[in-house]
Structure formats: structure tokens, C-alpha cells
Structure 1
């Protein structure tokens, strides 16, 4: 299993929207690195759902329920989507500021390539953030 972080502006598409829908495709990715990460996703992989812009917090976990397929929002065959289903809302959201304060997380992609909308997360980082959300 692999671990990921997916970002969305909560006023555009929030974790609660995914919960309401039950399952949805992750579309609109127009960055080659993010697209390549989506192509690497496998059914059963877990992704942190990060609310960007004003909140800047990890708020939930989504599960990848399909592997990539062509993005239905464009005719350009370079772009793909995967489907996610909500797995669980975190007991307490974990803010970007909290992540930045943790020495253990200093090499996290979120801090190194902050604008990337789909990015890998190491299992150890994933587990650490889960513990932070339960504190």
C-alpha cells in the first residue's frame, strides 16, 4: 500500500463534499508530477485530504477505489483521474503550522514542494500525522 496527500480548496471541494457523495473522481489535475503520482496510485491506497488556502490542514483520509482513467472533464488525453471514497475524518485536523514544527516531518513533500496538489507521503509520516490527529 502507498500513501498520498491530495489538496483541495474547501470552498471548491471539501472533505465533507466527498463524504456527501460517497465516492468521486479527483479531476482537474494539470501538473505532470501530480498526474504521474495519480498514475502510480493503486486501489486501496490511502490519501490525506488536505484543505488548502485558508485552512491549510489535513482533515481526513480518503481511499483510492479505482486506478487511473482518462479525465472526463477534458478531451486532452494527457490527463487522468482516480476515484476516491471517504475513509475517515480525523479526530483533530493537523495544520500546516503543526507539521512544520515537527522535526520528524521536516522532509515531507508537503514542506518541500508545497504547491504540488497530489504528492506521496511516506508510511512513517502518515502514521506520525495520524498520532498527531489523535493527541
Structure 2
């Protein structure tokens, strides 16, 4: 995919799993809302997973992006590229095999990435459910 993990002692599958775990932990700690992970294998050539989450303020979104970037760097998992700034209602993080979109709720609804990346997307099809406010947790 875009960039390979930079940690050499993990298999690609282990690195992907650990990257997803680190991102999920960071988003949960930052109180991200409506976290969804989409499996893109076979549907996109740029990443294996896409994580979409919402924040309630632009500052929260900026902090979530900074924390994810820092934690992935600390764990030597991926070189992260960030698009968007502290005053943005949409920040994208490219961590190689994982793309993270952080939105304000209004922008998330407008761009509707869940619908775009899976005409067959259904909340029951969520591969990984993370976060306190994910719609499939009970």
C-alpha cells in the first residue's frame, strides 16, 4: 500500500493489527465519537483499512490527530502524513495501510465516506467496533 510499517520485527499483518489497536486506544482516550473501521482490502489500492471518527470541536480533532501521529511514531509503527490543520473540520491521517478521517459531525454527514466506500456498508458489517459511542456497541 502507500507506505510500509517502519517496525521490522512484526509481520505486515501484526503491524496492521497493532496500528489499528494504537489508533483505537488513542481515539477512545480522546473521546472520539461514532468510530467506524472499514475493510478496504480488494476495494482500494491505497489502504487496507479506513477509520472514520467524529469530534465535537476543531481543537478536539486537531488533538486527536496529533495524539495518533505521536503514538504511532513512539511505537515505530508508521510514518504518518497529516492533511488539514488545527482549524479544520476534517483531518486526514495517512498511516500507510490505515487511513484515518477525523470529522466534525456536519462534515462527516456531508462527505458520507461510509456510503462512498461501501455501497454494501451496513452497521452490522463493521469489521472493528471501537469507541464508546459506536452504534453497534450495547
* TM-score, L = length of structure 2: 0.30
Judging by fraction of residues, say which structure has more helix. 2
Judging by fraction of residues, say which structure has more strand. 1
